[in-house]
Amino acid sequence: MTDKKQSDKKPTCGIIMPISLIENCSPEHWADMLGILKDVCNSNDFIPNLVSDADDIGVIHNRIIENIYSSDIVICDVSCKNANVMFELGMRLAFDKPTIIIKDDLTGYSFDTSLIEHLEYPRDLRFTSIIKFKENLGKKLKATHEKATTDPNFSTFLKNFGKYKIAHLEDREITSDTFIVNAIEELRRDIRIIKNNSFVEKGDDISKLIRTKSLLEKEMQARSRFERMHTEITDVDKLRFRKIVQEYLKSNKISLRPKEMDMELPTIIEELEKNSELTTIAGDSITFRNLVRDSVY
End-to-end CA distance of the chain: 43
Q: Same domain for 126 and 8?
A: yes
Q: Same domain for 56 and 19?
A: yes
pLDDT at 56: 45
pLDDT at 169: 53
The residue out of 185, 205, 229 marking a domain boundary is 229
10-residue mean pLDDT profile of the chain (297 residues): values are 57 93 91 94 94 56 82 95 89 88 91 81 93 95 92 73 54 55 60 56 53 58 51 75 86 69 75 84 77 78
Work out the widest C-alpha separation in the chain, in whole angstroms: 68
Closest by CA position to 74, among listed 44, 107, 51, 103 = 51
pLDDT at 28: 92
Give a yes or no: residue 30 inside a domain: yes
Q: What is the CATH number of the domain that holds 153?
A: 3.40.50.450
Rounded to 5 degrees, φ, ψ at 17 are -165, 160
Give a yes or no: residue 165 inside a domain: no
pLDDT at 275: 86
Q: Same domain for 180 and 83?
A: no
Q: Same domain for 154 and 8?
A: yes
Q: Give the integer Cα–Cα distance in Å for 271 and 264.
A: 11
Q: Same domain for 153 and 7?
A: yes
Q: Same domain for 142 and 22?
A: yes
Q: Give the integer Cα–Cα distance in Å for 263 and 14.
A: 34
Q: Give the integer Cα–Cα distance in Å for 254 and 271.
A: 13
Give a yes or no: residue 252 inside a domain: yes
Q: Same domain for 224 and 242?
A: no
pLDDT at 95: 85
26, 88, 131, 225 from 128: Cα distances, Å: 22, 30, 5, 25
Task: Report how many domains make up the chain.
Answer: 3
Closest by CA position to 99, among listed 159, 163, 35, 169 = 159
pLDDT at 204: 53
Q: Same domain for 148 and 6?
A: yes
DSSP 87-156: HHHHHHHHHT--EEEEEETTSPPPTTTTTS-EEEE-TT--HHHHHHHHHHHHHHHHHHHHHHHH-TT--S
Residue 292 belongs to what domain range? 235-296
Q: Same domain for 112 and 21?
A: yes
Q: Give the integer Cα–Cα distance in Å for 169 and 43.
A: 30
Q: Same domain for 105 and 185?
A: no
pLDDT at 162: 52
Beta-bridge partner residues of 260: none
Q: Give the integer Cα–Cα distance in Å for 97 and 91.
A: 10
